[in-house]
Amino acid sequence: MSEIRYDLLHDEYILIAPERLHRPIPKASPALPEPKICPFCPGHEDLTPQEIFAIRQGDKWYTRVVPNLYKAVQIETPYDSSRDGINERWGGYGAHEIVIDTPRHDATFASMGTQEISWWLTTIQERVEDLAKDPKLVGIDIFKNCGPKAGATQPHPHTQIIALPILSKHQKHAFEHAWRYYQEHGRSLHQDIATFESQKERALYETTHFFTFAPYASSFAFETTILAKEHANIAKLSQEILQELARHIQKLFQALYAELGQFDYNLLLYLPPLNKNFENGHFFDQKEQIFRFFIRVTPRIYTLAGFELFTCSAINPVQPELVARLLRRHYENSD
């Protein structure tokens, strides 16, 4: 049974999840081995846990959502806590879901059409809205691991959603940073970044509601961000705006694949807390003013080492200005 333990030394929460021990372990190879039978491909639906959500037209599905077979947390776990001297623990309550992004086993965001990407975004919308109905769930992490260097164990395109009754240390710091900035300036931190960076050489692509750029202090080589200019939560976007976001995702990955070839990466979707609790009560009611959701793409070209682990900082050998200059060539060719 999984647990959420509080790390008193480092002031952060850690998931202890024995169930994850049984999942496949990625090998140190340039590509993931192909399974004999892919449980995420059409016709193999009986190989996954019971479906939570799907987008279908007739007998054909475009996305599916299922519980993770190797859950880090689970709704069935009692929502309780206990102490052992100075140590604290909670039952591993939460949701751990898999979004099967597409029925196409070999698809990438570069090869998917904007409608396919929109179905993926709509599926995420639906899950965020549904999970927010559980008042015990607070923090939500939505991410893609693509390739063995990024921690993937399944080659079929998929996304993971983990919702927890707490905020991680990193989440709490990010939201409080945005809240302080709003208190001092009367403007959203993210809006100011979009306005400033849109005039700089790190800019890649801008439309009415979104801005794609290479961040000024990128932690990873070829790291990029798609930033919402007006919206705090993806769950509130219209289908028209989702199509606009899908186009940003498609163009970014077409540029990245054109420049890097096949590459491993993590995609992280940063969203505000689902519900109010003791950790976020001072900023939760202002989240629409202080926060804008964003997608962070971190190619895993170089290996993290001791300095990064020790300092929680990064050494990036590729200037973001060079990244933007290289990627912009492919944006120009795609228009």
258 membership: H or E segment, kind and range:
helix 239-260
Look-up of token digits 């400033």? 196
Q: CA-CA distances (angstroms) from residue 292 to 16, 27, 194, 210, 295?
A: 31, 37, 10, 10, 10
pTM exceeds 0.75 for this model: yes
For residue 318, give both structure tokens: 């590729």
Establish if 10 belongs to a structural domain: no
What does the pLDDT read at residue 27? Answer: 46
- For 289, the domain range is 32-69+94-334
- Whether 271 is in a domain gets the answer yes
Q: Mind listing the pLDDT tens digit for each residue in 225-250? A: 999 999 999 998 999 999 999 999 99
Strand order in the sheet with 12-16: 12-16, 3-7, 87-91, 81-84
Q: What does the pLDDT read at residue 334?
A: 67
Residue 320 lies in a domain: yes
CA dist 213 and 331 (Å) reads: 12
Count of alpha carbons within 13 angstroms of residue 200, beta-carbon side: 18
Report residues of the chain scoring pLDDT below 70. Answer: 1, 4, 7-12, 14-33, 334-335
DSSP per residue over 285-312, as a string?
GGHHHH---EEEEEE--S---HHHHHHS
What integer pLDDT is reported at residue 25 of this predicted model? 47
Cα gap 170→184, rounded to integer Å: 21
3-class state of residue 330 by DSSP: helix
pLDDT at 198: 94
Within-domain flag for 4: no
Q: Name the region of 108 (left: φ>0; alpha: ψ -120 to 50; beta: rest).
A: beta
In the chain, the N- to C-terminal Cα span, in Å, equals 51
CATH of the domain at 220: 3.30.428.10
CA atoms within 13 A on the CB side of 165: 21
pLDDT tens profile 169-196: 889 999 999 999 999 999 999 999 999 9
Q: Is 87 domain-assigned?
A: no
Return all residues near 157 (Cβ < 8 A) that are at least 6 apart: 100, 101, 102, 104, 105, 107, 108, 144, 146
Contact 80, 91 (CB under 8 A): yes
As for how many domains the chain has, the answer is 1
Q: With respect to residue 77, please indicate whether it lies within any of the assigned structural domains.
A: no
Q: Report if residue 207 sits inside a domain.
A: yes
Residue type, 96: H
Within a domain: residue 274?
Answer: yes
CA distance 180 to 159: 32
Quick one: pLDDT at residue 76?
86
